[in-house]
Amino acid sequence: MNGRFIRGRRAFLGGAGVVVALPFLESLLPRKVRAQSASAPKRLLFYWIPNGIYMDKFRPTTTGTGYALTPTLAPFDTLKNDILVVTGLENAPAKPDGAGDHAAGTSAFITCAHANKSQTALQLGMSADQIAAAKIGKQTRLPSLQLGVDGGSATGDCDNGYSCAYARNISWSSATTPVAKLTDPKTAFNQIFQGFNPTDSQADAAKRAAYQMSVLDSVTAEAKSLSLKLGHTDRHKLDEYMTGVAELEREVGLGSSGATCTVGTAPASTTDFRTKLSTMHDLMVLALQCDATRIISFMLGNAISGQTYPFLTVNGAAITRGHHDISHHGNLQSNLDMLAAINLWTMQQFAALLTKMKSISDGPGTTMLDNIAIFLSSDVSDGNRHNHDDMPVIVAGHGGGMLATGQHVDYPKTAHEKVSNCLATLLSTAGVTDPIGDSTGTLAGLLK
């Protein structure tokens, strides 16, 4: 498929960081890509936010196209026709065994599978992004990309008997293998653009690829030899290893033909929440724009996020308590006010991401937002009740023109319509028709 990519189209933008570089990137995109707008790449983004949503300020009062934006949805004023607000969906597999709604809800976020409650025996299901990556991910250097803003606390229980793996990963490449996210902007940048040396000659690049391939061949041989001596549980670990090596081999095989643009220096590592989030948003756009990947999952924290929001004030006081603590609002007005403020801020950031995508041309007359399908939701609906029905969902982007944006779609709770069917609908816009978790089909109401 890479025949349309040619050498020599790469440009080097020295010095500038990612954030600064972005506005210039469009000019770096290869002309051939832009000329092929009819077959612009279909992209997917899965965006997880922690601790649910204060639904009273989220849910529009009417359905259809004429709905009025609620206080929490106000940031989408100029994007109303680019999103679908979906309410009433249920993610039944997210219900934990006993306590542990956050970990079970997070792990079921896009797997729609029921996590085995254990500290060590991981068993879940393949996630929607990985299902898509297995089908269409090989078109790009990275089949998928996992990003976040918080690697997770270094100590403590993660959630009532559930291993931290369930609380920190939404992407699972198999029922037993979570795909860890990158939370350091510099590491993420290097991951997106690694192995790309714009000063290489073609001969040098070919030799380098041959060398890399040989190193991978060597370790594959070692892994195969080792695997023969192992029992089945250990072999499974080696299988994870060999799957990874095969993927790296594929990337090397793509060589420089897989990269379509490059930028200057990597962004600095940062621990500041707002800076990191904004940089990660930039990196998402960059990775998609450069066609390094077409499938991204993103976590705005981890299950039971205790993120503080001291830069937000409610009734004159900064929010210094942790988000999860506040989300157990007990219907206390002061808590609800803080939740509404956190939700609003989160939506403002998400809206800014959409606006950025909308500003990036994907060829004549289309933008990145036209050719992406985005799923935003959380691990629970209401943070106080921990319910997994009536999930707050925003579907954003036009899915290549297939999504019936501009509306609020509400499914009656009694219908028990599934989150997984919503995800299947999004995947269908990228031509992927595989089932996800407990899905039974697509949701016609979300499609044109």
Partner 1 sequence: MPNRLWMPTLLLSLGACSGVIGAGAGPGSGSAGTSGSSSTGSAGVGIGGVPTEPPKQGTDPGRVTVHRLNRVEYNNTVADLLGTSLRPADNFPVDDRGGGFDNMADVLTLSTTQLSLYRQAASDLVTDALTNTTLRSKLVTCDLVKQAAACARTTLEAFTPRAYRRPVASTEIDQLMTLVTLATSKGDTAEAGLTLALQAVLLSPNFLFRVELDPTPTATTPHPLNGYELASRLSYFLWSTMPDDQLTAAAAAGTLSNPATLKAQVTRMLASPKARALVDNFAGQWLVTRAVQEITPDPATFPKFDDKLRAAMAAETGAFFQDFVAGTLTGDQLLTADYTYVNDRLASHYGLPAVNSTNLVKVSLAGNAQRGGILGQASLLTVTSHPSRTSPVVRGKYVLSQLLCDDIPPPPPNVDVGALDSAGATGTLRQRLEAHRSNSSCAACHGLMDPIGFGLENYDAIGAYRTMDGTDAIDASGTLPGGGTFSGRQELAQLIAASPAYASCFATKLYSYALGRLPEMTDNHLDPWTVYQLAQGYRQNGMRFPDLVSNLVSSRTFLERRGEPEGP
Judged by CB, which is closer to partner 1: 309, or 411?
309
Within 13 A of 445's CA, how many CA atoms are on the CB side?
19
Of 16-24, 67-75, 145-153, 277-285, the segment contacting partner 1 by CB under 8 A is 145-153
CA distances from 61 to 244, 341, 407 (A): 48, 20, 12
Binding partner 1 (rule: CB under 8 A), the pick from 39, 65, 78, 187 is 187
Judged by CB, which is closer to partner 1: 30, or 301?
301
Of 120-128, 254-262, 284-292, 401-409, the segment contacting partner 1 by CB under 8 A is 120-128
Binding status of residue 178 toward partner 1 by CB under 8 A: yes
Neighbour tally for 412: CB within 10 Å: 9
Return the H-helix or E-strand segment holding 212: helix 202-227
Residues with Cβ within 8 Å of residue 68, at least 6 apart in sequence: 60, 61, 62
Neighbour tally for 369: CB within 10 Å: 24
Binding status of residue 161 toward partner 1 by CB under 8 A: yes
Listing DSSP states for 65-112 in one string gives TTPPPPTTTGGGGGGGGGEEEEEEEB-GGG--SSS-HHHHHHHTTTT-
User: What letter represents residue 126's amino acid?
Assistant: M
Residues with Cβ within 8 Å of residue 153, at least 6 apart in sequence: 302
Smallest distance, Å, CB 3 to partner 1? Answer: 25
Contact between residue 410 and residue 430 where contact means Cβ atoms under 8 Å apart: no
Binding status of residue 237 toward partner 1 by CB under 8 A: yes
Binding to partner 1 in span 197-226, by CB under 8 A: 207, 210-211, 214-216, 218-219, 221-223, 226
Binding to partner 1 in span 329-348, by CB under 8 A: 330-332, 334
Binding status of residue 127 toward partner 1 by CB under 8 A: no
Judged by CB, which is closer to partner 1: 27, or 120?
120
Binding to partner 1 in span 290-319, by CB under 8 A: 302, 304-308, 310, 318
Judged by CB, which is closer to partner 1: 56, or 62?
56
Residues with Cβ within 8 Å of residue 96, at least 6 apart in sequence: 103, 104, 105, 115, 117, 160, 162
Binding status of residue 233 toward partner 1 by CB under 8 A: yes
Binding to partner 1 in span 382-421, by CB under 8 A: 384-387
Of 38-46, 232-240, 286-294, 341-349, the segment contacting partner 1 by CB under 8 A is 232-240
Binding status of residue 257 toward partner 1 by CB under 8 A: no
Binding to partner 1 in span 86-105, by CB under 8 A: 98-99, 101
Q: Residue 172 forms beta bridges with which residues?
A: 178
Binding partner 1 (rule: CB under 8 A), the pick from 238, 312, 352, 402 is 238
Secondary structure class of 179 (helix, strand, coil): coil
Of 10-18, 182-190, 287-295, 405-413, the segment contacting partner 1 by CB under 8 A is 182-190
Helices and strands of the chain, counted as H and E runs: 12, 9
- Counting residues that bind partner 1 (by CB under 8 A) gives 93
Sign of the dihedral through C-alpha 408, 361, 430, 242: negative
Of 39-47, 153-161, 409-417, 439-447, the segment contacting partner 1 by CB under 8 A is 153-161
Of 24-32, 78-86, 181-189, 285-293, the segment contacting partner 1 by CB under 8 A is 181-189
Alpha carbon distance 330, 13 (integer Å): 52
CA angle 173, 178, 182 (to 5 degrees): 105
Binding status of residue 270 toward partner 1 by CB under 8 A: no
CA distances from 2 to 6, 201, 254, 291 (A): 8, 19, 8, 12
Binding status of residue 118 toward partner 1 by CB under 8 A: yes
Backbone angles phi, psi at 77, to 5 degrees: -50, -50
Alpha carbon distance 97, 114 (integer Å): 9
Judged by CB, which is closer to partner 1: 106, or 425?
106
Smallest distance, Å, CB 403 to partner 1? Answer: 29
Alpha carbon distance 111, 128 (integer Å): 6
Judged by CB, which is closer to partner 1: 142, or 424?
142
Alpha carbon distance 93, 418 (integer Å): 10
Binding status of residue 379 toward partner 1 by CB under 8 A: no
Binding partner 1 (rule: CB under 8 A), the pick from 160, 270, 275, 355 is 160
Judged by CB, which is closer to partner 1: 346, or 387?
387
Binding status of residue 85 toward partner 1 by CB under 8 A: no
Binding status of residue 289 toward partner 1 by CB under 8 A: no
Binding status of residue 191 toward partner 1 by CB under 8 A: yes
Binding status of residue 268 toward partner 1 by CB under 8 A: no
